[in-house]
Chains A and B, each alone.
Chain A
Amino acid sequence: MPEVTYQLNTDKNIATFMIDSAGPVNTIGEAFIKDFALATLKANKDRVKGVILASAKKKSFLDGANLMEIIKNPSPMNLKYTVLQLQEIMANLAKSPFPVVAVLTGQTALGGGLETLLWTCDQIFAAPGSKMGLPEVNIGLFPGSGGPETLKRIVGLKKAVKMVLRGQILPVEAYSATKAVTITAKDKIWADAETFLAANQNIINRNYDPDYHEPEKMSLEEEKVVIKKARATFGICPDKPYITAAINAIEEGLELPFEEAVHNEIKHFAPLIAHPNVKNKIDLFFLSTSIAPRLATVNLKKALKVPELAIIGAGLMGQGIAQVCASKGIKALLIDIDLKTAQAAKTRISQELTVLTQKGRMSSKQQENILANISVSDSYDDLKEIPMVIEAVFEDLKLKQNILKQVQAINPEIVFASNTSTIPMEEISAKSDRPELVVGMHYFSPVPLMPLLEVIEGPRTSPAALATAVASGRQQGKTCVVVGDGPGFYTSRTFGVYVITGFYLAEMGIDPWKVDRLALEAGFPQGPLNIYGTAGGNVIHHAGSYMKEKRPELMTIPKTLEKMFEAGYIGAGKPCFYKNGGQPDESAMQFVVLNKSLPQPDDDEAKEMLLLGMVNQAFHCLDEGVIKNYYSMDLASVIGIGFPDCWHGPARYVSLKGVKATLSRLEELYEKYKVPFLKPAKEYERLIACGVDKGLV
């Protein structure tokens, strides 16, 4: 079967290139390139009046390069040759003497797929539900086959830079302002495409048209300012070579004609494949897509079916959980102390959804369906027939124990999932007669956007309760990582260390806002002190104090944090390190307690401490059996708590640095700065004894 089938409508003399590559989604590989070239040749030979690009797959139009093919021979030479070929077939079709359009009937065109459309098509016809984007930076690459050049011609440089560097995949409505994309209903899309072809016989491809006017075109100086800003915003971390490469390619492209600019992209693109951090990103992609579903070793046969669940506590988390469940077709009963509160929560969900609908992320029909799945109540009596309840109240042990007691009094068979971020299952279920039904489901905020669900297996959690939590979590579209019990489990504990390291660095004399900047340079998405404000200082303080109480050998609370907490500098509407959305609030300095007895770390050492603090805590979790394997360690740290994705996670970081080198570095830093959580975990010694210095993940 050819991956691109040439279908000629002899009546109209219009050819359709029907894309259908091997595998569940259409990808660009050797066979595709060959067949696409052949189809272009035929179209030219037949002197067609136009070509329609289309896909035989229901959901995938063309979703980028065949990654498996690339990693089989991950050499820059090989990649360069492949991209050269791809660029050649695109150029050949684009320069053919007939118009070209694409028809997307609700499918996705991603990466190389969108590049193909942007390069070759005079017009893209897309039905609602179609999605397009250049997500290459998410796998450690950048669109190197004309992506930036062709995208800027339809959306302008400013937007193109953002879309490329963020790797955004957007619904087609987001492109509707461009002249190159027409949104059309599915039933008339083919007719529209043909009409366009007939009416535009002499159209010149915009990429080759010297008279084409790029939207929002600026002067070269202005364009360079845009590039400079992009470097400052996106290119701050030197360990993300794909971002730097993308910006360099775009910048050099500013002063080059189209064909030279796209060729020049290859120069920046191909060498990336040999970089270890690019391998990290590609591996992480496979980890989160193909390994993650097999990670949780639970007996799914024992899982109860959960077509309907209840959520106790209609706060921010409860609302998010209800929204996620409802959007996946699970009936969600939102319970709070009174109906008014519960109803108000549902109203807020409705408002959130309306925003999404207005942005084009969701149809009003979808919104209606979601809301129809959410009901509200103020009575636990409604739990009688429900198989699972998720408790999402404040982090208060007594409160949680009480709710558990009341729930089990009404329905002793119900699976009780606690959405706690710190309190062990052992404690929550301590007073229950049915502790085996208690399991942890730790969601991340904002629930609809965060993919991770940390499922906690308490010492007495039954295989059935655990399996039910995992199965329901997956049904909710979450990536489930099962962890063992213990204060702060895996993520809160490790995340807490990151935030608190930030405070310690400030106490060692680094300007707090510089601490945050250094964190960004180290690859973190957000600085630790910034997180203190956005996550809420009271939450951080509460979690930190709890950890300190339970694990005094691993956790201390910096004096600065105590003082800020006491003074009400806790962010989330109250003052913290930042004001007016990102401006430093110098008044926070009054709380910073400098520790003159410690040396001030230099920039590199500070960054290393931020990374190693988290890494080491992850290994402490491994020592204690909280984290069960390296895949879980890496996956949860990146998608849950912002460990720099360019490192793949703590286990890969240690693998790349070497176990011995990591241990001796931690010993040095612990000796020098006395921060308790830099005390090396035990596992390093065991690995070294076994002769393992790398190869953890």
Chain B
Amino acid sequence: MEKCVIVSAKRTPFGKYLGSLSQMEPLDVAVHVANAALETTGPNIKDEIDQIFVGNCIPSAFETGSVTGRQVGLKLGMDVFTTTIDTACCSPLTAMRMALWGMRLGELESALVVGIEAMSRTPHASRQFRTGVRIGSVQMKDPIFPISYPGYQSVAVDASDGAEKYNISKRMLDNFAMGSHLKWSKAYKEGKFNDELAPIMVKKGRSKYLFSNDEMPRPSGSISAIEMLPTVFGAKTTTAGNAPGLNDGASAMIIMTETKAKALGLTILGTILDQTGATDMPYGISWIPAKAIKKILKRTKIDLDSIDLIEINEAFAAMPLVSTKILAEDDEKKWYDLISKTNVNGGAIAIGHPVGASGLRITMSMMYELKRRGGGTGVAAICGGLTQGEAILVKV
């Protein structure tokens, strides 16, 4: 089977809800991050890309949320086939997995993968205007408050129930949440995010400025302040403090076959050992990362103990905690060990979770950290709405 590698990985700083990126066209943000990824690999790389894959899960935030990939491609001046895919938060990793299929099948040698989300730009929606409004109120649904699917409870409740099922206290959720901010802060002070960040000129109101750092983290907060926040949407333990915000941001990677990368003389950042998807009951989002990780380790016959770093997207603090607890198989000490290997530079609770962009962020964050540590193997996993999960195994 063809060996596939990552040769470029960039993301924009993530903006908070109604923050720095909130008045930018999402298409422009996606193009910016794609260009940043393309530029770092040197000139003329555009001609070498065979296909563009875009992951996005709230298309209504775009002016026209259709064939987003093609719209991005044309703005980049790249006339290649594009695929735009929505598997909720799994989107960019599913997009990348499709690129991997193409390369393994021999149809593709390289691909540009983009994840983009602009939650601040999500319009309130009404179906009533189409036929005209007569007497009475108009219903305007906010698709992101809460994030839920017809016929199912909100994801905030699923997360909280998952924590309860696996006997994880609210205190632990809050601890992990505070840790996310503190780990981010330490990494930020050490300049670790410079590898992945592609600062972007933004316009907001009358001002125009270079947006160069994540704006969500609050490392000067405290667990006690998080503890005071009320639970939301009827969940038992989920609060605004142990969940990420509603964020804006984009991420991009260029992946190709090792043969091609070597032929082009590109620096290989990491090797994709494998990718996989998994599903479970629709409420199982908190433990699906564990299921996906178990599946990928089994497929590749790699032992959990030989994994150096883990990234589990902090869709809620419950996800990394429930999933690592499952992986630790009820061994408390092992669980703590796994937690301390997980999201070592902070996660979505601090950095933010632009849902269609996070999958690539956790992968690149882990890859760059492995590189800084002189190499190793890491696994990243993310959960998606109605319980699909993606996992990716990377060796540096």
Q: How distant is B197 from chain A, measured CB to nearest CB, in Å?
A: 21
List A638-697 residues whose CB lies under 8 Å from chain B. 651, 655, 683, 685-697
B179 contacts A by Cβ under 8 Å = yes
Q: How distant is A58 from chain B, measured CB to nearest CB, in Å?
A: 31
A630 contacts B by Cβ under 8 Å = yes
A504 contacts B by Cβ under 8 Å = no
Docked Cα-Cα span, A692 to B339, in Å, equals 12
B160-204 CB contact bits vs A (8 Å, 1 = yes)?
000000000001100110111111000000000000000000000
Q: Please tell me if the beta carbons of A689 and B340 are within 8 angstroms of each other in the complex.
A: yes
Contacts A629-B227, A631-B228 given; indicate if A697 touches B222 (C-beta within 8 A): yes
Q: Please tell me if the beta carbons of A630 and B224 are within 8 angstroms of each other in the complex.
A: yes
Q: Please tell me if the beta carbons of B182 and A692 are within 8 angstroms of each other in the complex.
A: yes
Task: Write the chain B residue with the least CB distance to A634.
Answer: B224
Out of B219, B227, B336, B337, name the residue touching A695 (CB < 8 Å). B219
Out of A687, A688, A691, A695, name the residue touching B222 (CB < 8 Å). A695
B221 contacts A by Cβ under 8 Å = yes
Q: Please tell me if the beta carbons of A686 and B223 are within 8 angstroms of each other in the complex.
A: no
Q: Please tell me if the beta carbons of A693 and B172 are within 8 angstroms of each other in the complex.
A: no
Count of interface residues, chain A, beta-carbon cutoff 8 Å: 23
Docked Cα-Cα span, A291 to B183, in Å, equals 27
Q: Which residues of A contact B219 (CB under 8 A)?
A: 695
Q: Which residues of A contact B183 (CB under 8 A)?
A: 691
Q: Please tell me if the beta carbons of A692 and B179 are within 8 angstroms of each other in the complex.
A: yes
Q: Please tell me if the beta carbons of B222 and A630 are within 8 angstroms of each other in the complex.
A: yes
Residue among A294, A651, A693, A695 facing the most chain B CB atoms (10 A cut-off): A695
Question: In the complex, which range does the number of interface residues on chain B fall in?
Answer: 20 to 34
Docked Cα-Cα span, A690 to B227, in Å, equals 16
Docked Cα-Cα span, A690 to B171, in Å, equals 11
Q: Please tell me if the beta carbons of B228 and A689 are within 8 angstroms of each other in the complex.
A: no
Q: Please tell me if the beta carbons of A697 and B224 are within 8 angstroms of each other in the complex.
A: yes
Q: Please tell me if the beta carbons of A692 and B224 are within 8 angstroms of each other in the complex.
A: no
Q: Please tell me if the beta carbons of A696 and B336 are within 8 angstroms of each other in the complex.
A: no
Q: How distant is A624 from chain B, measured CB to nearest CB, in Å?
A: 12
Docked Cα-Cα span, A630 to B227, in Å, equals 8
Docked Cα-Cα span, A690 to B181, in Å, equals 10
Docked Cα-Cα span, A496 to B340, in Å, equals 35
Docked Cα-Cα span, A689 to B179, in Å, equals 9
Q: Please tell me if the beta carbons of B222 and A690 are within 8 angstroms of each other in the complex.
A: no
Q: How distant is B244 from chain A, measured CB to nearest CB, in Å?
A: 16
Task: Write the chain A residue with the least CB distance to B180.
Answer: A691
Q: Which residues of B contact A694 (CB under 8 A)?
A: 182
Q: Please tell me if the beta carbons of A689 and B339 are within 8 angstroms of each other in the complex.
A: yes
Docked Cα-Cα span, A631 to B228, in Å, equals 9
List B216-235 residues whose CB lies under 8 Å from chain A. 219-224, 227-228
Residue among B222, B224, B344, B346 facing the most chain A CB atoms (10 A cut-off): B224
Docked Cα-Cα span, A692 to B178, in Å, equals 7
Q: Please tell me if the beta carbons of A685 and B223 are within 8 angstroms of each other in the complex.
A: no
Docked Cα-Cα span, A634 to B225, in Å, equals 13
Q: Please tell me if the beta carbons of B172 and A629 are within 8 angstroms of each other in the complex.
A: no
Q: Please tell me if the beta carbons of B228 and A692 are within 8 angstroms of each other in the complex.
A: no
Docked Cα-Cα span, A651 to B183, in Å, equals 20
Task: Write the chain B residue with the least CB distance to A630.
Answer: B224
Q: How distant is A695 from chain B, measured CB to nearest CB, in Å?
A: 5
Q: Which residues of A contact B220 (CB under 8 A)?
A: 695
Out of A291, A631, A695, name the residue touching B182 (CB < 8 Å). A695
Task: Write the chain B residue with the least CB distance to A622.
Answer: B171
Docked Cα-Cα span, A634 to B227, in Å, equals 14
Q: Which residues of A contact B222 (CB under 8 A)?
A: 630, 655, 695-697
Q: Which residues of A contact B223 (CB under 8 A)?
A: 630, 692, 695-697
Q: Which residues of A contact B172 (CB under 8 A)?
A: 686, 690
Docked Cα-Cα span, A630 to B222, in Å, equals 10
B321-346 CB contact bits vs A (8 Å, 1 = yes)?
00000000000000111011000101
Q: Which residues of B contact A634 (CB under 8 A)?
A: 224
Out of B224, B227, B228, B336, name the residue touching A686 (CB < 8 Å). B336
Q: How distant is B223 from chain A, measured CB to nearest CB, in Å?
A: 5
Beyond the given A692-B178, A696-B223, please list 8 additional residue pairs across the A-B interface where CB-CB is below 8 A.
Answer: A622-B171, A630-B224, A631-B227, A631-B228, A688-B336, A690-B175, A690-B340, A695-B178
25 examples of A-B residue contacts, CB within 8 angstroms:
A291-B228, A629-B224, A629-B228, A630-B222, A630-B223, A630-B227, A631-B228, A651-B224, A655-B222, A686-B336, A689-B335, A689-B336, A690-B175, A690-B339, A690-B340, A691-B182, A691-B183, A691-B340, A691-B346, A692-B179, A692-B182, A693-B182, A695-B220, A696-B224, A697-B222
